[in-house]
Amino acid sequence: MKFISSKAAFAMVMLPALVATILMTQSCGKSGDVDSLYRDPSQPVEARVNNLLSQMTLEEKIGQLNQLSMPYGEGAFENLCDAVSRGEVGSLLNVPTAALSDSLQRVAIDSSRLGIPLLLARDVIHGYKTVFPIPLGQAATFDTALVKLSARIAATEASSDGIRWTFAPMIDIARDPRWGRIAEGCGEDVYLTSVMAKAMVDGFQGDDLTSPSSIAACAKHFAGYGASEAGRDYNSTYITERQLRNVYLPPFEEACKAGCLTYMSSFNDNDGVPSSGNKHLLTDILRGDWGFDGFVVSDWASVNEMVSHGFCSDPKDAAMKGLTAGLDMEMVSGTYIRYLKELVEEGKVSIDDIDRSVANILRVKFKLGLFENPYTGTPQSVKYDKAHLAAARQSAAEGTVMLKNDNATLPLSTDIKRILVTGPMADAPHDQLGTWAFDGEKDSTVTVLDALRDIYGDKVQIIYEPGLGYSRDKNTAGIAKAVNAARNADAVIAVVGEEAILSGEAHSLADINLLGAQGELIEALSRTGKPLVTVFIAGRPLTIAKQVEESDAVLYSFHPGTMGGPAIADLLFGVVSPSGKLPVTFPKSVGQIPVYYSEKNTGRPASGHETLLNDIPAEAGQTSLGCTSYYLDAGFGPLFPFGYGLSYGDFSYSDLAIDKSSYGVDDTIKATVTLSNNGKREATEVAQLYVRDMVGSVTRTVKELKGFKRVTLAPGESTQVTFELPVSELAFYGLDMERKVEPGDFTLWIGGDSDCTLSTDFEVTQ
Ligand code: NOJ
């Protein structure tokens, strides 16, 4: 039986009944003299917005700017209903059930003067009931169509409980795996994150915003949050304006182009200015440069937190700075509802500023069709639909990356007699769901152990010895049992990694080695000499050089969600060939961080022949050891580069050609390459196109991803892969801070990861 908390039970049973009573006792607030043009869906949205706005009192306007979280406790619900009926609430988050969503909506519609619907929100980050891989895992699929489908499914399931707004996609570029929130985004790359941003916005919002299963997307965290100093959550960032525009903002601009209805301001202060009070970001760039006409919500209490930042003297000052910067809706900290009226009366906030923000919010409500269809319109039966589970399985399989496969250890054959399954993540249904899986249920989650037993249990003897209880477990008592079992097995599958709670918001780590005694478990298993397949299930890249060395084959799955088990089983036995590619560089050690492929060359780039620690003689005199940029103890390169991932095929690239050697700024480059599968199995490869702008008005990065394609080839098959790259995509913010293509020489590569070497040159002329 599933556990239902007393809070949830109360919400399901008692509260809707309470609402009915409240509605019966409250007189309907709508007065007869309301001009109801705004209710007419045949009117243009702007006419409806203006008509409604012109009839609102200042209090009602400020109410629209106020977002509350579902309250609990004695009298809290009655108070909430009163506030909603007085028009003091524009949005609610975390309303737990469809019945309650509809009840609260009824209070807003029937009991408030103007009947403005609530916008009901929740963090539906990587699935609702059917949980997909964490976004980092979805990014590893390099499959935008599948990512879009996953967001569509999440929206459909969430909307069945009345949710019409999700706080996703999270599109913070993250280059520091210590930062727990690296799990929630698409990794380190500007292009990959940008195309995934569009896919997710398209998926959440659907083809028709007014459909009951369409939910508003929210591009977050705007902006630069992923650059938190030292990977410590909420920490300050120091991103220059150029880096902001070239690296951190493009995914947000892409979301805007895709029609993303809302943005969320980030917690961090960049160069001293907290995002929730950053007019340059929220107004000049978002509205001025990009023409955004939706609304911006603060992150949780981040308006009030501008006081802690030392940017505002008190909550009233914070309300003023937030609103005037362009922050439309305040999440939970209540400074707007408390102080905006006073601030208007004192002339510190203009009514125009208030009207502008209210209009932004109403516009979104009209666009979502909430005035016409405020109540839940998606049936409950969509949850865990078969097609949803199949898509989750595909996503988990495509998002798992094979990092090593010596001696073709994988795929396993069903002729094998006995397999030992071990490790604390082999049967950890709660933990494989990952961070932000509030609505996922462990009872509906299939683990690696479940799947192996279920699919292969009648063909292969599956022995299970967990070795350790959970990922931080330091008690080594179980390791000997696992090792004994390994001695009697023909192959060992060790599933290790991180529990869900170790990544995500406020869960940063200073040490990203395997935790607990997991390292000892792998080492001991490796010493048995049995074929060792290590499967990592984690929320971030971990520093795993030693375990990779000790294993014969390695799969890496960023918390893979509800269907992670069957997906990994499919890969282990070769039902599916691995095709995932790393969306983020894997460091050799934590001291290399930040390490990412799209870096600058420096004046002294590493040559690959650097002297390392152990090659320096004792009592060496001071030398500059070749004068290049590297670490004595870790060298230069990472453990695995961005874009890396193996398959059961054997892919090679040849005959790279471009259609011209010289292009104008309005041209499109056509690049082709021959991709061959020289292996014995059908497999999918992600062909990746990179570019380098050799000389710029400011230094440029050594490689930038500009395109990718998933290509499936039969054994022995070759095909021509063609990329079309508009030269305009080479534009960047140079010395004059204008976004443009700078004519000159470029190099273009196509290959299977960011270390690819097959290249050709071209020039761009004026
Ligand atoms: C804080 C988080 O930073 C944000 O991502 C989330 O959407 C909000 N809380 C709401 O839960």
Print the SS3 string covering 174-203. CCCCCCHHHHHCCCCCHHHHHHHHHHHHHH
In contact, 491 and 531? CB cutoff 8 Å: yes
The pLDDT tens digits of the residues spanning 657-697 come to: 999 999 999 999 999 999 999 999 999 999 999 999 999 99
Give the whole-number percent of the chain exceeding pLDDT 90: 94
Q: 299 CA to middle of ligand 1, Å?
A: 6
Q: What residues contact residue 452 under an 8 Å CB cut-off, 6+ apart?
A: 419, 421, 460, 462, 493, 565, 569, 572
pLDDT at site 445: 98
* DSSP state at residue 646: B
d(CA 333, CA 472): 35
In contact, 183 and 136? CB cutoff 8 Å: yes
122 lines ligand 1 (CB under 6 A): no
pLDDT at site 27: 42
The pLDDT tens digits of the residues spanning 507-559 come to: 999 999 999 999 999 999 999 999 999 999 999 999 999 999 999 999 999 99
When pLDDT is cut at 50, 70 and 90, the band that residue 13 belongs to is low
Q: 300 CA to middle of ligand 1, Å?
A: 6
d(CA 218, CA 167): 5
pLDDT at site 84: 98
Measured from the Cα of 167, ligand 1's closest atom is 7
Indicate if the pLDDT at residue 7 is higher than 70. Answer: no
Of 322 and 27, the structure prediction assigns the larger pLDDT to 322
When pLDDT is cut at 50, 70 and 90, the band that residue 33 belongs to is confident
Measured from the Cα of 184, ligand 1's closest atom is 5
The mean pLDDT of 623-650, rounded to a whole number, is 92
Provide the mean pLDDT of the chain: 96
d(CA 467, CA 464): 9
Q: Whose CA is nearest to atom 11 of ligand 1?
A: 123
Indicate if the pLDDT at residue 602 is higher than 50. Answer: yes
For helices 98-106 and 76-85, angle between their N-to-C axes, nearest 10 degrees: 50
pLDDT at site 608: 87
Pocket of ligand 1, candidates 124, 276, 300, 330: which has the most ligand atoms within 8 Å of its Cβ, to mutate? 300
* DSSP state at residue 506: T
d(CA 274, CA 163): 29
Pocket of ligand 1, candidates 505, 507, 508: which has the most ligand atoms within 8 Å of its Cβ, to mutate? 505
Q: Whose CA is nearest to atom 3 of ligand 1?
A: 299
* Phi, psi dihedral angles at 285 (to 5 degrees): -80, -55
d(CA 252, CA 225): 13
pLDDT at site 626: 72
299 lines ligand 1 (CB under 6 A): yes
Indicate if the pLDDT at residue 31 is higher than 60. Answer: no
* Phi, psi dihedral angles at 348 (to 5 degrees): -90, -20
pTM of the model: 0.97
Indicate if the pLDDT at residue 150 is higher than 70. Answer: yes
365 lines ligand 1 (CB under 6 A): no
pLDDT at site 12: 53
305 lines ligand 1 (CB under 6 A): no
Indicate if the pLDDT at residue 2 is higher than 50. Answer: no
When pLDDT is cut at 50, 70 and 90, the band that residue 3 belongs to is very low
Nearest to 286 by CA among 219, 332, 236: 219
Cα distance from N-terminal residue to C-terminal residue, the chain? 69
The mean pLDDT of 52-66, rounded to a whole number, is 98
Choose the catalytic residue: 299, 317, 427, 439.
Answer: 299
220 lines ligand 1 (CB under 6 A): yes
Q: 505 CA to middle of ligand 1, Å?
A: 8
Tokens 């892969």, residue located: 721
When pLDDT is cut at 50, 70 and 90, the band that residue 24 belongs to is low
d(CA 576, CA 647): 10
167 lines ligand 1 (CB under 6 A): yes
Nearest to 11 by CA among 106, 120, 96: 96
Q: Whose CA is nearest to atom 9 of ligand 1?
A: 300
299 is catalytic: yes
233 lines ligand 1 (CB under 6 A): no
Indicate if the pLDDT at residue 149 is higher than 50. Answer: yes
* Phi, psi dihedral angles at 325 (to 5 degrees): -75, -20
When pLDDT is cut at 50, 70 and 90, the band that residue 23 belongs to is low
The mean pLDDT of 409-417, rounded to a whole number, is 97
The pLDDT tens digits of the residues spanning 87-101 come to: 999 999 999 999 999
Indicate if the pLDDT at residue 73 is higher than 90. Answer: yes
Indicate if the pLDDT at residue 26 is higher than 90. Answer: no
The mean pLDDT of 716-744, rounded to a whole number, is 98
Q: 740 CA to middle of ligand 1, Å?
A: 35
The mean pLDDT of 54-63, rounded to a whole number, is 98
184 lines ligand 1 (CB under 6 A): no
